[in-house]
Amino acid sequence: MKSNVLNKPLSLCGALLSLVIASFAFAASDVDLQQSPEVSATVEGQIKMPKQQERMALNYVNQPPMIPHSIDGYQVTKNTNRCLQCHGVESYRTTGAPRISPTHFMDSDGKVLGEVAPRRYFCLQCHVPQTDAAPIIGNDFKPMPGFGQ
């Protein structure tokens, strides 16, 4: 009969990890965000994104472009992807939105597919709405020369 002695430290570690994560989430919710006139706070800790804004410059090579518009209510699930309604191969010509990159049609082996590759389908894994809200944690990041302007 196996002893449960080995399982107790693992469950204790899991409980401690949960406590640490919860404390970070609680601390982050108390941060006072500095806001520009275009960005306004809605509910404490949430930022209301402007409807549309100019695209921000990239800061480094191969940086995923940021989203220059609100994505409130956008649905990206395994069955539907609201982003492709404007940025898809067939729709970008009529909407004026930037076309989805050809790299998004390659699988992990470099094989070109007829539709967006599964690993690139969930746009919000890499592309985020842009805002000029103050960072929650300060940093000294500087864009590569020639970028971020």
97 is in an annotated binding site: no
Q: Which amino acid is at 129?
A: P
How far is it, in rounded angstroms, from Cα 21 to Cα 17?
A: 6
How far is it, in rounded angstroms, from Cα 78 to Cα 93?
A: 25
69 is in an annotated binding site: yes
135 is in an annotated binding site: no
13 is in an annotated binding site: no
Region of 110 (left: φ > 0; alpha: ψ -120 to 50; beta: rest) is left
Binding-site annotation, residues for heme c = 69, 83, 86-87, 104, 123, 126-127
